[in-house]
Each structure stands twice: as structure tokens, then as C-alpha cells.
């Protein structure tokens, strides 16, 4: 299905209809309200990411974050999460290990998830390799291992999401992902099937009809999902975020950011360290907070969205 077909399907989607309630309305807000979740991916990846994520939470600069369980610095972030159960932290379900020298392995026993391993015994570097070699059964084993390890470390997670979009790469992966969300009683990252979502969805085999079906099953849908903005430098990213906030549309929007300090560790891990530092600089700035106040943008968390889960109207945390 090409992009034009996706756009046509989205326009015809029952969840895109004008009389369909948006998620901000389901939360008791008017349709005109602008609710924003600034969500930090990749907590637990390294010490630099942890420092930046914790500082951003402490300053009220972000509403939510998700933790990569297989990564070396997971225990540090998990310890902070255990000490701060009021914070909105999820499990960033991870099936890839993308950096050149900074690598991680599955949580499950290697002999049970052989399809997830590359020639060096790490998770594959890219989504295509994972989708081409790992069976759905192996993926479910690993996802459950990551979730259970998070629980073992005392993380009271509020949601599940997917690193590098891997769980959207195959329909069977996607079905496991969404089923685990309902099983554990937490939301998973799912966008409403709209024309805006079609541009992103067109690179995956997950159709807008499938997203609509998940909504009917009782999943909570984000009205909008923004996975990134243009720019590399601190000022370029800041200008992109200013524009993003000024152009924000009504509904519940999730904005994914990646945070890190500017230090030797993150510079050694990834060549895109500057964008992570830039994200941290903007959202911990007085300017971002002032701009959101001026634009009447209200923060929202997965904890709040969890109250909308069908069958779990009052429970947002795994016991």
C-alpha cells in the first residue's frame, strides 16, 4: 500500500470521523485543548542519558520516559525509578543494538532467542535484520524477559513502547506488543489512524485499519505522534521546537525526544550526540516552559492515559 492509499484510508477511517471522540475529550478536556507529552526515549542506555533524563524529570521538563532494559546502565535508571514511583516511566522494548562499539545482548537466554543474535552475539544493529531473522516466538520470549526484569528491579512502569519502531516491522510482532500491553494493564504507543499518521505508517506493514482495530479492542490511542524534528545543532533544534509548539494542534500529542548530557561518554557512543544534547537544552530551558504557558499547552502522562484502558479504568501501574 502506497502513501496515497494510506491517506485515502485514513480519511475514511471511522476513528478519523469528526464525531469520534479524541483522547483529550476522553480525558475530560474540550476538543480544542492541547495536551502534550514530551517523552524521553533511551533512558538506561548509558550514564549520560540517565543523568539528562533524571535532571529533566526533576525540572518538570518532560512528562514521561522509557527505559532500555538490556542496556548496561539499566540498573542505575531502574534504581532511580524505584525511588520515584510517582514518575511516568515505561519499558522501551528493545530488539536492536545499533551503535558501532556500544552494544548489548538479549535479556533472555541466548539459546532461546537465537534469531535475535547477530554474528557477534549481540542484538542485530537494524530493524530489517531483526524482522528477517527473529521468529515471533523468540520476540515474545525476549519482550517478556525485559518486562519481567523491569519488574524484578522494582520499576512500576506505566507503559510499553518500541525502540526504533521494531515492533511495527511485522504484523505478528505488532500483535504480540499490543497483547502484552493489555496483559500487563498498561498503554502501548499507538497513534490514532489519521492522515498525519499515514505518512509514518507507510514505512511499516501496519495499516491504519489495524490501528483502528486496536482502538476498538480497548487500547488508548494518541491523537498525534511526533517522532522527531529537523535540525542538528542546539539552535537548529530549538528553532524546530519553537515552531512545533506554536503549530501544535488540539488533542493528545506525544513528542519523542532523546536526551543526553554533553560529555565524553555520549560522544563516544553515538555520532548524533549533539541532537540529544540539544533536546536536553531546549526542554530544560525557561524558554520552553514559558512558551508552553503562553500557548496554553497542558502536560499529560501515560499514567493519565492508562485510566482509559478498557477493563482497567482505575489501574495504571503493574502491581
Residue 318 in contact with residue 185, Cβ under 8 Å? yes
Q: Where are the domains positioned within the chain? A: 3-8+22-97+154-306
Instruction: Say yes or no to pLDDT of 313 above 90.
Output: no
Question: pLDDT, tens digit, for every residue of 74-116?
Answer: 999 999 999 999 999 999 999 999 999 999 999 999 999 999 9
Give the global pTM. 0.92
Percentage of the chain modeled with pLDDT above 90: 87
Q: State how beta strands 64-67 and 34-43 pair.
A: parallel
In this model, does residue 10 exceed pLDDT 90? no
pLDDT band at 11 (very low <50, low <70, confident <90, very high): very low
Q: How confident is the model at residue 196 (pLDDT cuts 50, 70, 90)?
A: confident
Q: Convert the pLDDT of each residue in 118-176 to its tens digit.
A: 999 999 999 999 999 999 999 999 999 999 999 999 999 999 999 999 999 999 999 99
**181 within 8 A of 160, measured Cβ to Cβ:** yes
Tell whether domain 3-8+22-97+154-306 is in CATH 1.10.3980.10. no
Q: What cell was used for 233? A: 545543532
Q: What is the average per-residue pLDDT within 193-222?
A: 88
Q: How many Cβ atoms sit within 10 Å of the Cβ of residue 264?
A: 10
Mean pLDDT of 40-53: 98
Report percent pLDDT > 70 for the chain: 90
Q: Which residues 6+ apart lie within 8 Å of 307 measured at CB?
A: 313, 314, 316
- Mean pLDDT of all residues in the chain? 92
Tens-digit pLDDT profile for residues 242-264: 999 999 999 999 999 999 999 99
**What is the Cα–Cα distance from 301 to 271, expressed in whole angstroms?**
30
3-class SS letters over 56-124: HHHCCCCCEEEECCCCCCHHHHHHHHHHCCCCCEEEEECCCCCCCCCCCCCCCCHHHCHHHECCCCCEC
Amino acid at each position: 500500500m502506497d502513501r496515497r492509499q494510506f491517506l485515502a484510508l485514513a480519511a475514511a477511517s471511522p476513528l478519523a470521523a469528526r464525531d469520534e471522540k479524541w483522547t483529550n475529550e476522553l480525558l475530560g478536556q474540550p476538543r480544542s485543548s492541547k495536551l502534550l507529552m514530551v517523552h524521553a526515549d533511551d533512558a538506561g542506555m548509558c550514564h549520560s542519558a540517565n543523568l539528562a533524563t533524571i535532571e529533566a524529570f526533576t525540572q518538570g521538563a518532560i512528562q514521561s520516559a522509557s527505559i532500555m532494559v538490556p542496556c548496561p546502565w539499566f540498573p542505575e535508571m531502574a534504581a532511580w525509578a524505584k525511588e520515584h514511583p510517582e514518575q511516568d516511566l515505561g519499558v522501551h522494548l528493545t530488539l536492536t543494538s545499533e551503535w558501532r562499539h556500544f552494544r548489548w545482548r538479549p535479556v533472555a537466554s541466548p539459546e532461546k532467542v537465537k534469531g535475535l543474535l547477530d554474528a557477534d552475539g549481540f542484538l542485530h544493529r537494524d530493524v530489517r535484520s531483526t524482522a528477517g531473522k527473529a521468529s515471533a516466538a523468540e520476540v515474545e520470549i525476549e519482550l517478556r524477559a525485559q518486562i519481567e526484569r523491569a519488574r524484578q528491579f522494582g520499576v512500576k512502569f506505566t507503559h510499553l513502547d518500541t525502540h526504533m519502531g521494531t515492533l511495527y516491522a511485522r504484523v505478528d510482532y505488532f500483535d504480540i506488543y499490543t497483547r502484552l500491553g493489555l496483559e500487563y494493564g498498561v498503554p502501548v504507543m499507538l497513534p490514532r489512524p489519521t492522515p498525519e499518521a499515514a505518512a509514518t505508517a507507510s514505512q511499516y506493514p501496519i495499516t491504519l485499519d489495524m490501528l483502528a482495530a486496536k482502538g476498538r479492542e480497548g487500547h488508548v490511542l494518541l491523537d498525534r505522534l511526533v517522532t522527531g524534528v529537523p535540525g542538528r545543532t542546539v539552535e537548529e533544534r530549538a528553532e524546530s521546537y519553537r515552531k512545533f509548539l506554536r503549530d501544535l494542534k488540539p488533542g493528545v500529542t506525544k513528542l519523542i525526544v532523546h536526551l543526553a548530557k554533553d560529555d565524553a561518554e555520549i560522544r563516544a557512543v553515538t555520532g548524533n550526540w549533539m541532537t540529544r544534547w540539544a533536546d536536553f537544552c531546549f526542554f530544560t530551558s525557561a524558554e520552553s516552559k514559558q512558551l508552553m504557558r503562553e500557548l496554553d499547552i497542558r502536560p499529560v502522562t501515560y499514567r493519565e492515559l492508562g485510566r482509559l484502558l478498557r477493563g482497567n479504568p482505575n489501574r495504571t501501574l503493574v502491581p
